[in-house]
Amino acid sequence: MTTLPQPRGPLSHAVVSALRGGSGALPCDTSLAAPAPRAAAARAADPWGDDLHLALYVLYELHYRGFDSVADDREWDPELLALRRELEDAFMGALREGTADGRTAAQALDELLVEPVDLTGSVSHHLAVEGELWQVREYAALRSLYHLKEADPHLWVVPRLRGRAKAAMVAVEYDEFGAGRPERIHARLFADLMADLGLDNTYGHYLDRAPAPGLAAVNLMSLFGLHRALRGALVGHFAAVEITSPPGSRRLAAAMSRLGAGPAAEHFYAEHVEADAVHEQVVRHELVKGLLADEPHLDADVAFGADATGLVEERLTRHLLAAWGNGRSALQQAPSHGR
């Protein structure tokens, strides 16, 4: 389990304090236990900011491995769930505002098949061509919050699918989970990558160092995975990840090789070049088409999921390249408690 993080504002303070206190109530001085103040606080928060996304991440983590000294039954605490819904509404509003209406799944996914001619705005291109080892280490530390649980929220959609779509999803996830070999689980391979880079590969270790754009990338797949109503968006997210993975992974493997990051670091991305090229075909032709054959009304949701993924990843890219371009860390400053 993970240690509760340091709060970054009133919303995350309310959540962390409630979980540290061990009771079912949110702290009285936050006024967040009542519906109107709770909704007002969520609306007033920056939907892309540190406070909202840390609070949301902590609430989502209760559905994964939880936190040290936090009882398992807090996962279904009604007051925490009510606050989570307000935070999700704020995040969803920002996602809707930042993505186009009226696109079909085919339009959204076909667009991802075409690599831009100019890759100067790409993190993988930067790391492959001119990135430094400290930047690779920061990238791995930040992405560990995503990759050490990447396949888990996608499994939540399996009971909500049927027939062709379900078979395709399980086939791809079988590979993600190592095809029955624990040492081949992709999260394990990423942990090995971190070890090569001299990073702590304990699950959730870098939570306090993750900036809001990195938290948002993890929160997006948790949001889509936890809601049955967003099953189409989850499929769109999954498809976007698998389609865009091979070229980016090829560049990241080159970066690891150029910088001498180590065999496990290079292997993680080299593995994804081949595996995700196969997965992309299964996802597009079996998962997406199978889902839309069963539930054609989810077409716009699949497009939204893919477009929202692009939006969130673009925000993360801008954050990383802006920080590195100025010669500074893209991570949060380490908190005083030493995590």
Q: How would you write the pLDDT of the chain (339 residues) with one tens digit per residue?
A: 689 999 999 999 999 999 998 655 565 444 566 666 677 888 889 999 999 999 999 999 999 999 999 999 999 999 999 999 999 999 999 999 999 999 999 999 999 988 777 888 899 999 999 999 999 999 999 999 999 998 899 999 999 999 999 999 999 999 889 988 999 999 999 999 999 999 999 999 999 999 999 999 999 999 999 999 999 999 999 999 999 988 999 999 999 999 999 999 999 999 888 766 778 889 999 999 999 999 999 999 999 999 999 999 999 999 999 999 999 999 999 876 543
Residues 258 and 294 placed together within one structural domain of the fold: yes
Residues 267 and 139 placed together within one structural domain of the fold: yes
Q: Which CATH number covers residue 149?
A: 1.20.910.10
Q: Does residue 128 fall inside a structural domain?
A: yes
Q: Which one of 97, 118, 136 terminates a domain?
A: 97
Q: Which amino acid is at 69?
A: S
Residues 43 and 146 placed together within one structural domain of the fold: no
In this predicted structure, what is the pLDDT of residue 21?
82
In this predicted structure, what is the pLDDT of residue 36?
65
Q: Does residue 285 fall inside a structural domain?
A: yes
Total Cβ atoms within 10 A of residue 252:
30
In this predicted structure, what is the pLDDT of residue 118?
80
Residues 124 and 17 placed together within one structural domain of the fold: no
Residues 87 and 116 placed together within one structural domain of the fold: no
Residues 137 and 240 placed together within one structural domain of the fold: yes
Residues 153 and 301 placed together within one structural domain of the fold: yes
Q: Does residue 337 fall inside a structural domain?
A: no
How many domains, the chain?
A: 2
Q: Which residues contact 228 (CB under 8 A, 6 or more apart)?
A: 160
pTM for this predicted structure: 0.93
Residues 210 and 79 placed together within one structural domain of the fold: no
Q: Which amino acid is at 254?
A: A
Measured distance CA(279)–CA(23) in Å, rounded: 44
Q: How many helices (H) and strands (E) does the chain have?
A: 15, 0
Residues 166 and 311 placed together within one structural domain of the fold: yes
Using DSSP, state whether 90 is helix, strand or coil. Answer: helix
| Contact status, residue 186 vs residue 150, Cβ threshold 8 Å | yes
Closest CA to 87 of 144, 145, 26: 26
In this predicted structure, what is the pLDDT of residue 339?
39
Q: Which one of 97, 131, 160 terminates a domain?
A: 97
Residues 86 and 150 placed together within one structural domain of the fold: no
Q: Does residue 336 fall inside a structural domain?
A: no
Residues 293 and 320 placed together within one structural domain of the fold: yes
Residues 38 and 92 placed together within one structural domain of the fold: yes
Q: Which one of 97, 131, 157 terminates a domain?
A: 97
In this predicted structure, what is the pLDDT of residue 23?
55
Q: Which domain holds residue 86?
A: 10-97
Q: Does residue 73 fall inside a structural domain?
A: yes
